[in-house]
Amino acid sequence: MQTEDLTKGAMATHFRTLAIPAALGMLFATLYNVVDVYWAGRLSTDAQAGLAIGYQAFFVLMAIGFGLSSALSALVSNAKGSGDNSQTQRLAAQGLSFGIIATFVSMVIGWFIGPLLINLVSEPGAYRDAALGYFKFLILALPGFFLAYGGNGILQAHGDSRTMQRAMMVAFLANIGLNPLLMFGIDGIWNGIGFNGIAVATIISQTGVMIFIITRILKLEMMRSVNLAAFWPDRASFMQIIGQLIPASSAMMVMFVSGFVVQFALKEFGGHAVAAYGIALRIEQILLLPVLGMTGALLPIAGQNFGAQDFDRVRAAVLFCWKTGFAMTLIATPILLFGGGKAMSLFSDDPEVIRVGFSYLRVDAFLFPIYMMLFSINSLLQALKKPIWTLWISIYRQGFGVAFFVWMFISVLDFSVWGVWLGIATAVTSGWVLSLVVAQRVARSTMGGLLKSASGPPFTLAAVLSDK
């Protein structure tokens, strides 16, 4: 299987090759969840609520999978960029072994912790019962998620984001057929298993994604000579992976807690405010997909070049990412400012839900460029093997910042629901300033500076676009 050498060639080509498939893969992952929500709604509102709460509890476990993807993308891309093929092979093999062990540990922990989380955020009744049943089935999908995400990190480190895109496209199409089949069965032959059929469909489709990803990894040139001994757990390798994984996974956990804080704050403004925020987040996520693809591509590109100690190309990658990312946000901003209400109306016909959701999207429009820079700095810090800073930034922005500023705008300044949106905006903006300071200091200590070398001139647009 051919892989990309990201230490040579035009930045535009590398970003296009990595970012577009990654964004499409995330789009199909989002559409996959939309299919689940649709079919749950065909049963009842309780089923939809159970799906949302059950998946929320499952997402806590999934933070480990997201962290494993980032960890392996950073470590393997650094090793590949350095030209050390044996180290690249070892980290890839150890990453898969780590993923297997982490999966089974998480399944055991999840079996006990998941129901506690569900009980914490729900009331006794049909929707809690639905959530508990859905979650217990969904635990069996953890191997598929963990190993697929971890494996995707290995492939991204080799410049391959197409494999996950193709896998998620097939999974999305399979889910369209599996959901009704497993829920309602075949008339006159089989009655189906009801709501839990959604979870079983996820187990089947995500297991298929995992098998496809692992198959592609084993076809990598550097894996053709691998032997079984390379997969035996190695303490030093596991510590490297854990060192990269914990900050990234913890940052995801903090984001999860932040969502609870916002939902708690919105409760006093009524159910329509909670519903509006949920819908607005879906719209935001769809428009963010190109930005996420672009900033996600920065990690393996910067990682390979940092491993090769070509710091000029690392800086060039960051600047290209920002330049292109700003162009993307210029497209999204007017859509949110002027078309947010129309977008909300596609999901709800309640005028209050539309009004409140539109107010959030108008504030969100001005945050898009800041989100882009925050995501890119996170990717850069992971590529420089300094992921702990992503955790501290996340703790400030999504932990302390959101809670403090929302409280200040609502309780002290007596704002309405706008206080929640302005609190989020203040946390995001101040977190962006903090991330810029951190990125500059880390870059200065690891590669001589963020936008310019300590011993050289600053970069120009021509330098960013050059092929050298």
pLDDT in tens, 332-354: 888 888 888 888 887 667 788 78
CB neighbours of 339 closer than 8 A, spacing ≥ 6?
none
256-284 b/e (C-beta count within 10 Å ≥ 16 → b):
bebbebbeebbeebeebbbbbbbbbbbbb
Name the pLDDT band for 121 (thresholds 50, 70, 90).
low
Name the pLDDT band for 118 (thresholds 50, 70, 90).
confident
pLDDT for position 462? 45
pLDDT in tens, 372-395: 999 899 889 988 888 888 888 888
Q: Which single residue is written with the structure tokens 């120009």?
A: 460
- pLDDT over 80 at 221, yes or no: yes
Q: Which single residue is written with the structure tokens 């491993």?
A: 307
- Segment 44-65 mean pLDDT: 76
pLDDT in tens, 447-461: 888 876 554 544 444
- pLDDT over 90 at 173, yes or no: yes
- Segment 190-195 mean pLDDT: 82
Give me the chain's average pLDDT, please: 83
Torsion of CA 112, 116, 119, 120, to 10 degrees: -160
pLDDT for position 464? 39
- pLDDT over 90 at 211, yes or no: yes
CB 460 within 8 A of CB 319: no
- Segment 281-299 mean pLDDT: 83
- pLDDT over 70 at 11, yes or no: yes
Q: Between the ranges 186-190, 286-290, 307-311, 425-429, where is the mean pLDDT highest?
A: 425-429
For the purposes of burial, counting CB atoms within 10 Å of the CB of 112, is it exposed (0-12), middle (13-18) or buried (19 or more)?
Answer: exposed
- Which of helix, strand or coil describes residue 252? helix
